[in-house]
Each structure stands twice: as structure tokens, then as C-alpha cells.
Amino acid sequence: MKIKNILSKINPFSERKELDYGEFFTNRYILGMNDLIAYGWYEIKALMAWQYYKKISPVYRAVNLIANEFATGITPVLYDNKEDTYIKEYDPKIPQSSILKLLKKPNFNNSPIEFKKALCSSLLVTGDIFIIITGLNEPVELYYENSSDVVITSSPDGYPGAYQISKAQGSETYRKQIINNEIRYMSRDGTRELIQIKEFNPDYQNGQYNGFSRLSPVYYEIEQYLNSNIHNLAMLKKGARP
């Protein structure tokens, strides 16, 4: 059983343009809809979605209520469809169950709770989960990648051709390869693989390879809340004078 299929069973639960983001955030953290349309962004992308999460308390609280419950209250299991049983612990006799052991210590830097909370929060806020799997033959570590650091490029067949991760430390590209009749996205040296778990996006076939953020349908409600707070704070600072 492939690692991507295993992770999908455990968790059944934006294309970004190369722009100067500094010009976006002048005296506000979030763009208005007119600004988005001007730059060709007709849905909330990861960068903007994370700003909502960080700056708007109802969004932060709602996401954390779900993510905390997922991270602390749900124990990952594997379903064996041949035996119609659930595998709850690592069993050396069942190679696929090694993922359960790995999720208890995904990497040297993250606890299992941190890792699971990051995955759930990312899916709820941005519509995407990006995971880096290290190891040559068997997975050794799992790393969460921030959706706002990932740019997806298209291939001639109309599907993702490569994923580029850009950080302050540098960038790395994961390109499409066909391995055992399966599409996988591997690093140049073949020691790391990237997988994407995403929400349904109705525009997927139109080059929108990211998941659809759950914040997109409530854009106006969030903007109304934000602008009301800005207005009220401005009034208070001016002694209730317009």
C-alpha cells in the first residue's frame, strides 16, 4: 500500500502568483475584493487565508476548536479491506502499519499533536495539505509544508507538473515522475516525495490545482467583521467623533 493511500485513509477529512506581497499589505493586512480581482485572484488563496486566521478571532477560534479535537481526540487507524478489520498499532508483520509508528513521531522537530494540528488547520484554512516524505525505500520522516510556500505549475496534460517550495532558506522543486504506473512528485535526488491532500475545487480543470479554501464562501462576512472592527476602533480613538 502506497504512503499516499495510507495517509488518505487516515485523514478522510493556492495557486500563487509571483508577486511582491509587500505591496499588498500597506495599512491593512487583508486585500479587498477589488484588489483581488485586479490581480486575478477570484478566490481566497493560502497567503490571504492565513492572514484571516491570524488576525480575526472568530476564524482562529473556529479552526482551533476543530484542529485541537482532531489532534488530541482522534487516534489514527488503518482499515484492512481484505480482513474487514482496523489496525490500531504498529505490527511488524504488517508493513503498511509502519505509518502508525511514524505518526507517533513524524520528525525530530514536531510532536504528533503539533503535526496533526498543522495538517488539520491547513486543510480547514487553505484547502490544502502538503506533506514531505523523506526516505529512499521506506518513509523515515514526515514534514508539514505551509501552503503559502508552495507554487504548483502545470504540465502539458493539464495536470500538475511540478511543485515548487520557496522559503527563506532556498527553494526546491518536486517534479512529476511515473513510478510503477503511479504519478509521484519527487525531489531531484529522489530522497523526498511531496504529496498533496486537498479539498474539492470546482475550477480544478481550469488550472486551479489547489484545494478550495473554506473561507472563500464567507469572504464578505469576514470582510464585514474586519471593517466593522476597524471602524469601531477608529471611532474610539477619535473620542466617538467621525
What pLDDT was estimated at residue 241? 65
Report the pLDDT value the prediction gives residue 226, as an integer from 0 to 100.
86
On the question of pLDDT at 5 being above 70, the answer is no
H/E stretch holding 91: none
> Which of the pair, 207 or 84, is modelled with greater confidence?
84
pLDDT class of 41 with cuts at 50, 70, 90: very low
Q: Which residue has the higher pLDDT, 144 or 208?
A: 144
Instruction: Locate 92 and state its grid cell.
Output: 511488524
Beta strands 192-198 and 182-186 are antiparallel
Instruction: Give 33's pLDDT tier (boundaries 50, 70, 90).
Output: very low
Whole-structure pTM value: 0.78
Question: pLDDT tens digits, residue range 110-120?
Answer: 999 999 999 99
Handedness of CA 37, 40, 46, 50 (dihedral sign): negative
- Taking only the tens place, the pLDDT of each residue in 127-170 is 999 999 998 888 899 999 999 999 999 888 888 999 999 988 88
Q: Considering only CA atoms, which of 54, 59, 57, 64 is closest in space to residue 29?
A: 54
pLDDT band at 242; cut points 50, 70, 90: low
190 SS3 class:
coil
Q: Is the pLDDT of residue 54 over 60?
A: yes
pLDDT of residue 109: 93
